[in-house]
Structure 1
């Protein structure tokens, strides 16, 4: 796993007019680091526990780049003294690209993986595009420092990470803030774990909302080991005991911000527990996937449910023993479906199902159902009405 630290550096204003105020920052383990730039304290603190593979620092041409020197041990600061004063001087009017690159190169001798990124703070797309290009493809532990810089910059960086999580393997995210305004003898360092929890809940619920895959969101709600339950449901099984356990655990969730999520999941899982017959569960899952825009799944499930129901109408007791249900039903449909609209609905449904599954579009009327979402929606809703009528 790669450990990536993201910091923002601004201008600051101390008594002398420029730069941040020298502050003692106290971490949760009692360690204290005195520095003007909080990122330096955070880097030194994190480095006592883990190797920081990359440290990206975003700032503007007038940011207090010189303050990064506090990251280096006092014994080595003299080695950078001449360049340090040159950086200090250039910051006043705007640091040049060459000096910033030279400063980065010198700092990297003592801080491996450091990169100083001069940005236009109003170029909002830069943050996300930079991270997409530069974050490694390994599993990533991201540490976000939101202490300095323009106030809107940490928000853009945070939302950028939420988007990037879809394409990079961000396994964990921690957010730190050096709370200068809460300063007593020292300024407390706040690790904002709750944001990380919301980040996990948000991304895993998005996955569930659009795909139906629930193990990840359930894990983030404290309900473990549900992968096999999901697999059984996908395979049209009925893991009744497991579903009862999940719903019982969802009912025990008390925090409001988690409960609203739990209630939505429970409402969608409950019909799978309550429906006794396979065809009824198939219909519930067809509706479930239709609402999640997974139209092929919904089409296959509603067709199979109707087919099972028709076989039962014929008095077939051992449906699994029939090798080809479509051939078995051929010629018997008028006997089961007395009304013409039902025959037409089933015929259209079957042909659309075959065309969608096999990619074989037979005629123009079927093409409309596959090309036009509204036409397919009409067919799907008509099929649900047909199913309920058939069940009676």
Structure 2
């Protein structure tokens, strides 16, 4: 079920002519003339339900303009609008009128003016209270105070995260762009996709999972097979297989760098830099770069694991043996293992298995995050080639 959420603002009412109308042109060429864009949009997209959110002084009576003038509820609403004293109870009593008039269930939601953080939070909570979980919604940000569209954007993301709502589109009737007697209707859903990219960057910075970009790149026009390579590379990296990850990244990096999608162009250079570790030297260098990257993010288990494996790889390569062979790696490490390497091994085992580390010197570094991070940084530098 699709629900249209429309913001209702204030307007000037002329006793002779009523509220000023606009001719809204949609991208399919159709034109609908209404004083309130939400009505035009409802007739255009035919939602199953309409939620109208407005303040105590919004032009609620414009929604009931076709009702009989003698209707007591309508007269009460018109008077309340004039005095900017509309109440939720009065709006609720008008909902049956509106539902019959518009041919679909209508919910009227009284919201504050969003003058401060408390009122802004109250608006988000009010919207969440009338939207079902996993419902599909379209949001109209045309009317209302000029700061409300910004809040509507936050509301779209809030509903998506808290109520698992699918926000299909944002609409704006751009009255200031009117020409030749018509007002263009803008679709602003790309703003939500931009936020998806920003959130994915934050996710990557937190846990290093660049696989979150794969569906975004695919939606932005990247070949699905190339996007899949990025997802696979992330999987291999995060499961301790830098060789396979390096191979996948080598196959997809040019597609990332040359991606021409509208949204991807904003982020491709940043993403390419984030995955550039695979260009560093040999396997030992890859593992050390990954260890240091995870250390910066506070992922101490992966950091210690990759730094530990880097030492093993380096020892194997120094012997001229196969760094991908388990037996060669084990023999080389036993021959080359120094005190710093042993401490890395102990820290890695303690973090992995949750056991008491060997030696008091190692144990003290697990007493606080600051000590552990500092010691891992020291061990990384001490065991560099």
On whether the aligned pair clears a TM of 0.5, the verdict is yes
- Range class of TM-score, shorter chain: 0.7 to 0.9
- Name which of 296, 306, 312 aligns with 1:301: 306
- Name which of 139, 143, 153 aligns with 2:138: 143
2:377 aligns to what SS in structure 1?
A: helix
Q: Does 1:284 align with 2:279?
A: no
- Name which of 99, 103, 106 aligns with 2:97: 106
CA displacement at 1:172 relative to structure 2: 4.5
Q: More deviation in 313-322 or 248-257?
A: 313-322
- Kindly report which structure 2 residues correspond to 1:341-352, keeping only aligned pairs within 5 A, or say none: 343=339, 345-352=340-347
Q: Does 1:115 align with 2:115?
A: no
CA displacement at 1:151 relative to structure 2: 1.0
- Kindly report which structure 2 residues correspond to 1:58-207, keeping only aligned pairs within 5 A, or say none: 58-69=53-64, 77-78=67-68, 81-93=71-83, 94-109=85-100, 110-121=102-113, 122=115, 123-138=119-134, 140-183=135-178, 184-207=180-203
CA displacement at 1:27 relative to structure 2: 1.3
Q: Does 1:39 align with 2:30?
A: no
Structure 1 unaligned blocks of 5 or more: none
Q: Give me the whole-angstrom Cα distance separating, in 1, the residues matched to 2:363 and 2:16.
A: 71
2:252 alignment partner in structure 1: 246
TM-score relative to the length of structure 1:
0.80
- Kindly report which structure 2 residues correspond to 1:207-286, keeping only aligned pairs within 5 A, or say none: 207-221=203-217, 222-223=221-222, 224=224, 225-226=227-228, 227-235=231-239, 236=241, 237-240=243-246, 242-253=248-259, 258-259=264-265, 261-277=267-283, 279-286=284-291
Q: Give me the whole-angstrom Cα distance separating, in 1, the residues matched to 2:262 and 2:174.
A: 28
- The structure showing larger relative contact order (alpha-carbon pairs under 8 Å, at least 6 residues apart) is 1
User: Given that residues 128 and 161 in structure 1 are in contact (C-alpha distance below 8 angstroms), is that contact kept between their aligned partners in structure 2?
Assistant: no
Let me know the Cα RMSD of the aligned residues: 3.4
User: Given that residues 6 and 140 in structure 2 are in contact (C-alpha distance below 8 angstroms), is that contact kept between their aligned partners in structure 1?
Assistant: yes
1:4 alignment partner in structure 2: 3
User: Given that residues 12 and 18 in structure 1 are in contact (C-alpha distance below 8 angstroms), is that contact kept between their aligned partners in structure 2?
Assistant: no
1:12 aligns to what SS in structure 2?
A: coil
Q: Are residues 17 and 228 of structure 1, via their aligned partners in 2, closer, same or farther at CA, if it must alter by over 3 Å? A: farther
1:370 aligns to what SS in structure 2?
A: coil
User: Given that residues 87 and 110 in structure 2 are in contact (C-alpha distance below 8 angstroms), is that contact kept between their aligned partners in structure 1?
Assistant: no
Q: More deviation in 256-265 or 22-31?
A: 256-265
CA displacement at 1:147 relative to structure 2: 0.9
Q: Give me the whole-angstrom Cα distance separating, in 2, the residues matched to 1:365 and 1:241.
A: 39
The superposition leaves residues 11-48 of structure 1 with CA deviations (integer Å, 9 ceiling, x where unpaired) of 2124449974222222111222222111111111110x
Q: Give me the whole-angstrom Cα distance separating, in 1, the residues matched to 2:332 and 2:251.
A: 39
- Total equivalences in the alignment: 367
Q: Are residues 347 and 167 of structure 1, via their aligned partners in 2, closer, same or farther at CA, if it must alter by over 3 Å? A: farther
Q: Are residues 164 and 98 of structure 1, via their aligned partners in 2, closer, same or farther at CA, if it must alter by over 3 Å? A: closer
Q: Give me the whole-angstrom Cα distance separating, in 2, the residues matched to 1:117 and 1:276.
A: 62
User: Given that residues 233 and 246 in structure 2 are in contact (C-alpha distance below 8 angstroms), is that contact kept between their aligned partners in structure 1?
Assistant: no
